Structure 1
C-alpha cells in the first residue's frame, strides 16, 4: 500500500508515537494501539453524501494532514502504508460482518501482518467491538484479554476464522474471514456499497468511535455512549451538543450541518 504523500515520520507524529519504529512485534503492537487511540473511526464523508475515496494519496491527506479519521478501508489502509514503510509484510483480507440478522457480503477489510515468524490480525476499523491490539492467528480457541475486553478467534475445518467478542457476558460473533489475499482494488465495490446503499449503517446514521486506554466513546446518530472500564454511560445529544462533542471530544469538524 503506497501513497506518494505518505512518510513515516509524519505518520508517527500524527499518532503521537515516540518509540523506536522497526520491523518487530513490539513495534507492530505499539503502532496499532497508538493509531487506534488517536485516529477516530468515522463516516462524516458518507453523511455528507460523498463516496469515500480509496485513492491512497487522498487517504493520507485526509488522516495525516487534515486530522480526520475514516472507516475500515481508510484507517486500515493507512496502517498498511506504515507497515510497508517499515518493511513488515502484510496482506488485506475481506471479512464478513456477522452481527446482522441476515447474512451479509464480505464488506469489511482487515490486515494480516507477518512479523518474527507469526501472523497477526490487525484491525483498526471495526467500530464498537473491534480488537484493541493485534491477535496472533495461532491463538485459536483462547480467551484473549485486551484491556477490559475479551476476544476469541476460532477456526473451522475449511480454515475460516471467526472473531468473537465478549458482550454483556455472552460471546457475540463479529466477523469471519479466511486468508485469501485481496488486492486494494477488490474493495472498491464494498466501499461503494458502504458509501451509498440505503441499508448500510454508514448511510443511515452518523458513526464515530474513538478508542482510549480504558474503553471507547461511540457516537451513533445523536446518541453518545461512553464505555470506561466496562461502565457504560449514554446521553442523547441536541444538535448543538452534537457539534460540540464532534469538535471537542472526537476532534472532528462536521462537514455538514448537524
Structure 2
C-alpha cells in the first residue's frame, strides 16, 4: 500500500475512521487504491486523484458510496462530502483532520461499532386497493361511476376517488408501521424515520445496528417480508455508512 505522504498528486477523501480500524484492500475513484492518512485518534480514507477538475460523474459518486459502504461492513466510518479533494496529506491533516477532531470523536461515539441499514416497506397497490374497495362503499361506487368515461366527464369524481384512496393508504400505513417498528427497534442502536415519498409507502426507516446484532436484524426484516408477502414489499439495503445519523462530515 502506497504511503500517502509520498503521493505527488491530489488526494480524494472518502471518509474518516478510527485510527485502529482495519481497512480491507479496496479501490475507489478511477480504480485507484485506497490508503489512509492518520491523525491522532482518526484516519482519513483517500486515493490519488491526478485530475480533480473531471470529478463529478455518476461513476465517481457510485465509487465514493461503494468505498464507504464496504468499509461500513467491517468498521465505523464517517462519510465525507462527495467531491472533497485536498492537495496533499499534510493539508488534509492540518486543515481537515486536526481542526475537526472533536466533531469526528463525537460522531464516532454516537455510531459505536455499528452500520446503517435502510428499510423501506411499501404496499402492493392493487392488493390494498382491493381491500379499500371492499371496505369503503364510496370508493367502490366512484370506481363504477368513472368506468368507461373520459377524464373531462368525471373529473370531480376522479379527484374525490384519488383523495379517498390516498387517505385509505395513509390510514392503513398508520396501522402497519408501528408493528414493523416494534419488531426492529429492539435490535437498533438508533433509528431515523424518513418522510414518505409515495402514497403506497408504509415506512421508510434508517436503522443503526451494532455489528453483533446485524444478522438477527436481517433475519427479522426477512420474517416481516414473508409475513407481508403479496400485500407489503420490503426493501433492505445495508450495511451502509451512517449517512442518516452523522450526515457528511
Pairwise TM-score range, normalised by the shorter structure: under 0.3
State the TM-score, normalized to the length of structure 1.
0.21
State the TM-score, normalized to the length of structure 2.
0.21
Larger radius of gyration, structure 1 or 2? 2
